[in-house]
Amino acid sequence: MKINPFIFRGYDIRGLVDQDLNSEIVEHLGKAFGTFLNRLSIKKVVVGYDSRATSPKFSQAIGKGLNWAGIDIINIGLNLVGTFYWSQYYLNCKGGVFVTASHNPVEYNGFKLANDFSETLVSDNIQKLCQMVENEDYEQAETKGRSEERDIKKVYFEDLLKRLPIRKKFKVVIDPSYSTAGAIVPDLLRRAGCEVIEKNCQLDSSFPLGVPDPTSIIVAQRLGNEVWQEKADIGFSYDADGDRIGIVDERGNIVWNDVLVALFTIDVLNEHPGATIMYNTLCSKAVEETIVKYGGRPFMWRTGHSFLKKKNQEVKAAFIGELSGHFFFSADFYNHDDGLYSTLRLLSYLAKTNQSLSAAIDSLPKYISSPEIKIYCADDKKVELINKISKVIKKEYPGAKNGEEDKSSSLPTELSQKAKVKKKAELSSPFAVARVIDDERAGDGVRVDLQTCMFVIRYSQNAPYLTIKFEAKTENQYIFLKNYISKLLHSYKEIDWDSKINVNTESLS
């Protein structure tokens, strides 16, 4: 069958509705995935979906294909993806399909495909599935699979609240931008004893306020204003499938999720002294500093929740965190991300330490930090573009070798906004000291660590864009990096600065 191969991404499937994905194509995906599971002796799957307009019919279409291949289905209906992963254990299903395009624009939909508990297909297996569809490498079962529906929300809530009782009544604002979490999160938090203020919690698959993306500064600022106006203790936003969260403190200040990784690290290391903490390449230097300060072992790995989950089978980290808002409390829960568990875990920590969120954050190392910036670059161009950019950056850092930091020079305390590099011997920029990481740890880009600065440029595994993040200790250093990155990226015609898929590009202007 002819299918767009670019919808088969690093760890899921995402494509444009009616162009890349329709019911016929999705049924073929079900036949291929059912055959794939049969070859692993997996005969049963759990199916769930988010609130996108096409998600219910796509869940039926892929279910039809799965049944054709002899796979039994337990459909849990509209849910969050963390609930879906949890249900694998509760329903004893290694196989699974969750219909979602997460934080992609409204025109998209897609699938997360599970082949083990808390485990989704990545890389080679995703490409194998693509080849199976292209070649129609399917096997029809002699006996068609069965389908049933189950409502698991009550037992799921009971499990979470038993694990994380909240011993303080918080006033909480919830703003999921009209997406799935609006039908689920308020109920859970009220059962937890919170006073819940609902903002934009009605389901509307047109996403009238824009894409539900907790990393968007527009979403975060709106949430901050809502918390301030309501005089609430904290605010939470969610993406469309609810595995990622965004937060603001009681003052309405945005707390980016790499800072939250550092805060969660303290909580986890209190419970698991000396444990390994894994974090992705987009995270602040504050994360590694906090892990070391509290006696943990830092382990940086490539961006992508499925890559991190897979690596943790080897690393055995107690906790994993990403800038995007994926958090895995592997030692205390399961080795998957769950936005509701993360929500309760933060409230539980603040309650037991008797702190406001702002007070808890004040104890962490401080950096001036950009949000996660996303800039459109076509799927068929983004990999080669990052290769070009990586080569340019490595030329700027001649002292860095094999990802190790070159300490032959010292970094200036302050930088002139108009600093210009004329000779390497006369550096007045952060380029004086660097650790360039572009190996397996980075995976899909390059990270540059400096004594008091950091920046990352990479391509997304699940959408046509580049991701950028940078930070510095001082305003002048921050401005220098912003100008350097902006000038570098503007020199490439492969980047579309006017695309509606862009997020937070104003942070580079």
What CA–CA distance (Å, rounded) separates 189 from 173? 10
Which of the following is catalytic: 51, 55, 102, 460?
A: 102
Look at residue 422 in the predicted model and tell me its pLDDT. 34
Which pLDDT tens digit goes with each residue over 149-199? 999 999 999 999 999 999 999 999 999 999 999 999 999 999 999 999 999
In the predicted model, what is the mean pLDDT of the chain? 91
What CA–CA distance (Å, rounded) separates 137 from 32? 7
Whether 102 is catalytic: yes
Q: What is the mean pLDDT of residues 101-106?
A: 90
Q: What is the mean pLDDT of residues 10-17?
A: 91
Q: What is the mean pLDDT of residues 370-395?
A: 93
Look at residue 267 in the predicted model and tell me its pLDDT. 98
Look at residue 297 in the predicted model and tell me its pLDDT. 97
Assign 30 a pLDDT band (cuts: 50, 70, 90): very high
Look at residue 35 in the predicted model and tell me its pLDDT. 98
| Percent of the chain's residues with pLDDT above 90 | 81
Which pLDDT tens digit goes with each residue over 339-374? 999 999 999 999 999 999 999 999 999 999 999 999
Assign 432 a pLDDT band (cuts: 50, 70, 90): low
pLDDT at 147 over 90: yes
What is the distance, to the nearest Å, from the Cα of residue 481 to the centroid of all Cα atoms in its chain? 24
pLDDT at 419 over 60: no
Lowest mean pLDDT, pick from 282-286, 315-319, 407-411, 464-468 = 407-411
What CA–CA distance (Å, rounded) separates 417 from 37? 57
What CA–CA distance (Å, rounded) separates 298 from 280? 11
Q: What domains can be seen in the chain, in order of their start residue?
A: 5-151 (3.40.120.10), 155-254 (3.40.120.10), 256-362 (3.40.120.10), 368-508 (3.30.310.50)
Q: What is the mean pLDDT of residues 260-264?
A: 97
For residue 268, what are the CA distances in angstroms to 9, 304, 322, 327, 331? 32, 21, 15, 12, 9
Look at residue 421 in the predicted model and tell me its pLDDT. 39
Considering the entire predicted model, what is its pTM? 0.89
For tokens 């599970």, the residue is: 114
Look at residue 222 in the predicted model and tell me its pLDDT. 98
